[in-house]
Amino acid sequence: PTCYRATLANIQSTTPAQLKELAKKYLAKGAFTLQIDPGERKPAVEEPAVANLPPTSVAPPAKGLKALASTVDRSQGVPRTESFPSLRFPGVTRATLGNGLKVVLAERHGLPLVQMNMEFRGAGYASDRGQKSGTAAFTLGMLDEGAGNYDALAFAARKESLGATINATGTLDLASVRLSAMKPRLDDSLALFADVIMRPRLEDKDIERVRGKWLASIKQEKARPNSLARRLLGPALFGAGHPYAIPLSGTGTEEGISGLHREDLTKWLGEWVRPDNATLLVVGDTTLAELTPKLEKVFAGWKAPASPPPQVALPTVKLGTKPRVLLVDQPGALQANLLVAQVVAPSTDPGAIDFEIANGVLGGTFSSRINMNLREDKHWSYGAFSNVGDALGQRVWATFAPVQIDKTVESIKEMRREVIDYVTAKAPAKPEELAKLQAFQTHTLPGRYETGNAVLQTLSEITLYGRPDDYAQQRANRIGALTLDQLKKAIAAVQPGALTWIIVGDLKKIEKPVRGLELGELKVVDADGKPLR
């Protein structure tokens, strides 16, 4: 267990001369370059099933050893847990800096660590509307590619020397710049954090380097059936012109990313990254009295523009009256990826928790209906689940399953039956299903806040969705009091006539039988969602 001490001591005692000598020894003898050019894709041949083998016999005990007598009665199984810890979410305090920046702090003094998220409401992927697709996510990805007096390499070295983590990420409705810093190096880490927010370098050579990697990641998304289906989901559900009608990963399109220039990035930053549109969430070993002066110092020059922060309008999408089907060809695929989805009420809806638990019956856990059917009973899938996202606008509810290609039609029938029977109350939630979900949700809740990141995530949701500071406890209370009638009412939001199916697979094998199901209006589209037939 103490091996790490020897490792750290070895690192501390190593000299530049030793590193140079090792480099000469191991790295100075030529080079080897392997280039792999993928050829024509050939379908893999499945190996035949292996016959069941007899169980392996238990090895006899080693000589000189014998089993000790045990007083444990294992016939009753593992003892039941009779008591559970209570939920303890840290208290929250607030402050506002001179430039209007709001600060929210949850103190945790067990470790010399301070973590913070600078969050910008509305500056998520949905802010791409009216700009090039992928602008928000790409700009966020550029923030740690050099800032202030540090170019990209120097910035990475400085961050490493401080033992800090700094990065930026986003969701549909939110942009977040994150810092994790050791308490003794907090001042220097804050200065670097402020550089990222206020003075990103955005050098052209770095933009081109990141652009190449970004375009490759989009191609990778399109090559993977699950991520491909989700790229098509936003436009299919929300329709052209809606801010959410984008690849839900936020990565944008090849056309959008290829057309980005430094001016596009600085324009987006000027509109969205401003103190009057920001909230700094902090968790860790500090207090407001200690932290506020440090923040006033590093953000002293950060002022809000005279114009008000922009807003993203999120119109409500009307549900369709007929199901739709999008087929996407993936030649040679051994599996078909099935996804069926619909929009439901926003995260701010009073019944949002009820719907999340109702979804759990269908596909929210391993033992939920859809997985027990397609995986455990039929053995057609490695896993089938359903989930609902978070959003200020309408959320995406989706059920998905990768299935063996020769069971595509049968799997669709089972998925459709499970969904429709449940949402129409033909097969409503059972008391034991609700009880299991309630126990899981409430008993695991105290353990969810063992890390600072988990606390930050809940603080983010509290801030973004206007929730009370004791939301974690209120959520637990709400779940514990749910009834079967409430679940039935919540899941009724899923309308069989409004479902959209996205099916990715080898169309030579599945198109004709899928058409024969007459699920709804059917189109064959390419990886960008453009109709082919």
**Dist CA 214 CA 141 (whole Å):** 10
**Dist CA 461 CA 121 (whole Å):** 11
Q: How confident is the model at residue 528 (pLDDT cuts 50, 70, 90)?
A: very high
Domains of the chain: 92-298 (3.30.830.10), 324-525 (3.30.830.10)
Q: Detail the DSSP E strand segments found in 456-505.
A: 500-505
**Dist CA 361 CA 376 (whole Å):** 16
Q: How confident is the model at residue 49 (pLDDT cuts 50, 70, 90)?
A: low
- 28, pLDDT greater than 80: no
**Dist CA 283 CA 453 (whole Å):** 8
User: Which conformational region is residue 286 in: left (phi greater than 0), alpha (psi within -120 to 50 degrees), or beta?
Assistant: beta
**Residues 6 or more apart from 197 whose CB is under 8 A from it?**
118, 143, 177, 273, 299, 302
pTM of the model: 0.86
**Residues 6 or more apart from 16 whose CB is under 8 A from it?**
none
More confident: 463 or 50: 463
- For position 53, what pLDDT does the model report? 72
- For position 520, what pLDDT does the model report? 93
**Residues 6 or more apart from 382 whose CB is under 8 A from it?**
375, 402
- 86, pLDDT greater than 90: no
**Dist CA 419 CA 424 (whole Å):** 8
Q: How confident is the model at residue 74 (pLDDT cuts 50, 70, 90)?
A: confident
- For position 467, what pLDDT does the model report? 96
Structural contact between residues 391 and 346, judged by C-beta atoms closer than 8 angstroms:
yes
- For position 4, what pLDDT does the model report? 87
Q: Which H or E run contains 220? A: helix 204-223
Pairing outcome for strands 385-388 and 174-182? unpaired
- 47, pLDDT greater than 80: no
Q: How confident is the model at residue 361 (pLDDT cuts 50, 70, 90)?
A: very high
Q: Output the CA–CA distances (angstroms, integers) from residue 30 to 26, 27, 36, 331, 357, in the order listed.
A: 10, 8, 20, 41, 60
Among residues 211, 192, 189, the alpha carbon closest in space to that of 139 is found at 211
Pairing outcome for strands 278-284 and 102-107? parallel
- For position 50, what pLDDT does the model report? 64
Structural contact between residues 304 and 207, judged by C-beta atoms closer than 8 angstroms:
no
- 52, pLDDT greater than 80: no
- For position 129, what pLDDT does the model report? 87
Query: In the structure encoding, which two tokens stand for residue 448, read together?
Result: 């969810």
Average pLDDT score over residue span 342-363: 97
- For position 531, what pLDDT does the model report? 93
**Dist CA 187 CA 226 (whole Å):** 43
Query: In the structure encoding, which two tokens stand for residue 67, read together?
Result: 């089993």
- For position 2, what pLDDT does the model report? 82
Query: In the structure encoding, which two tokens stand for residue 186, read together?
Result: 């907090």
**Residues 6 or more apart from 415 whose CB is under 8 A from it?**
338, 340, 370, 374, 384, 399, 401
CB-neighbour burial class of residue 57 (10 A; exposed 0-12, middle 13-18, buried 19+): exposed
Query: In the structure encoding, which two tokens stand for residue 166, read together?
Result: 């700094």
By percentage, how much of the chain surpasses pLDDT 70? 98
**Dist CA 120 CA 173 (whole Å):** 9
- 313, pLDDT greater than 70: yes
- For position 3, what pLDDT does the model report? 87
**Residue linked to tokens 């993203």:** 312
Among residues 351, 371, 352, the alpha carbon closest in space to that of 362 is found at 371
Mean pLDDT of the chain: 93
Average pLDDT score over residue span 401-417: 97
Average pLDDT score over residue span 466-478: 94
Query: Edge-to-edge strands of the sheet including 395-404?
Result: 385-388, 395-404, 335-344, 500-505, 324-329, 521-525
Q: pLDDT per residue over 229-257, tens digit each?
A: 999 999 999 999 999 999 999 999 999 99
